[in-house]
Amino acid sequence: MTRPMEINLKPVDRRSFFRLGAIAAGYTGLAIAGGSILEACGSSVASTSAAATLTSVGIQFNYLENVQFGGSFLAKQEGYYKAEGFDVTLLPGGADVSVEPVVVAGKAFVGISHTADCIPAIINGAPLTVIGAGYQRNPNCVVSKASAPITTPTDMVGKRIGVDPPSASLFDAFRKANGLENANIDVVTVGYDLQPLIDGEIDGKIAYITNEPIILEEQGIKTAVLAFYANNLPFMEELYVARTADVNNPATLKQLGAFMRAEAMGWAKAVTDPVLAATVATDIYGKSQNLSLSQQELEAKAQIPFVSTPDTEAHGLFWMTNSNIARTLRSLAIGGVHGQASFFSNKVLREAYSGGPVV
């Protein structure tokens, strides 16, 4: 059986869920004293082109170019950024790229970060504010074969669960959230490769609902998933972050609002036309990743219910309700990360949606 194309299809690197120092040290020193990103002299992503009268800014992704960022691709491809006055550089992430320092240093106007990264970073002094949530709920799960399904937390007892090292703390939190911290669960250290599950060496594996189950199903392997969000560990994911100084500055707040309006229009297009989002990801922006178009189409469709919910239909894409913020903070606290509601603000989205929400 062909092994899954894990390097090219994996949407995100699953870093440690609860960590409080590695990427957060030294943020204060990285800040550009007294100025906003649009005032940062010499920045390659913060200049204004006199010829086109477009402001050049960057958006930093938390992983390599794939349909996970389909809305951003369409915001650029369909001209939504340009219509709002921006020439946008899409900055790919990866295992060696942390979003927070790039935004703090003024090398990107906005970043898309993991909850696991940005909240500990803010706790440790990063002068950032969460200005929106790309995913209203987290896609983390345990994936298993339908022939031996794991669909409830207690189904894991006595089973072998594959956990990649960066996800170990996340899985510990999930066990704790379900009263299984002392249960007989055989935790097997694995990489991102799905072959141990395919071969029956493990019974389940930490995964993303929007990714690994699709890869397995494409190989003819029926799956079952145990969603973390539905089993006591819900949190918003794919968080948009910006410098707090930019959020609080009237001029840059207006710029951020315009940027996020364009971003929302791109994602609204991705929600209504996931095939287009997948095609643009595969053929243009993620072409160097040798992506599978069929897999990208399935992933684009699978992420729709994480992006578009009754809350976003009522308030606009990326909106963070008080209840979602509270759930996110409670889940973080289970793992020992104690964030605050003040880390989150809909101020930019209110500016973005002053003429009506984008849903």
The string of pLDDT tens digits covering residues 284-327 is 999 999 999 999 999 999 999 999 999 999 999 999 999 999 99
Torsion of CA 305, 306, 309, 311, to 10 degrees: 180
* pLDDT of 96: 86
Q: Which two tokens mark 14?
A: 């699953």
Average pLDDT over residues 111-130: 96
| 35 pLDDT above the threshold of 90 | no
More confident residue, 28 or 258: 258
Calculate what percentage of the chain has a pLDDT beyond 70.
Answer: 86
| 22 pLDDT above the threshold of 90 | no
pTM score, whole prediction: 0.88
| 3 pLDDT above the threshold of 80 | no
Q: Which two tokens mark 8?
A: 């090219």
Could you tell me if 258 and 38 are in contact, meaning their C-beta atoms sit under 8 angstroms apart?
no
pLDDT tens across 47-103, in order? 444 445 999 999 999 999 999 999 999 999 999 999 999 999 999 998 789 999 999
- Catalogue all structural domains in the chain, each as residue range(s) with its CATH number: 8-137+235-352 (3.40.190.10), 139-227 (3.40.190.10)
pLDDT tens across 183-221, in order? 999 999 999 899 999 999 999 999 999 999 999 999 999
Task: Give the neighbor-by-neighbor strand order of the sheet with 140-145.
Answer: 186-189, 160-163, 204-208, 140-145, 223-227
| 351 pLDDT above the threshold of 60 | yes
* pLDDT of 192: 87
Backbone angles phi, psi at 162, to 5 degrees: -80, 125
Query: In angstroms, rounded to a whole number, what is the distance separating the alpha carbons of residues 112 and 96?
Result: 15
CA dihedral sign, ordered 251, 254, 258, 260: positive
pLDDT band at 18 (very low <50, low <70, confident <90, very high): low
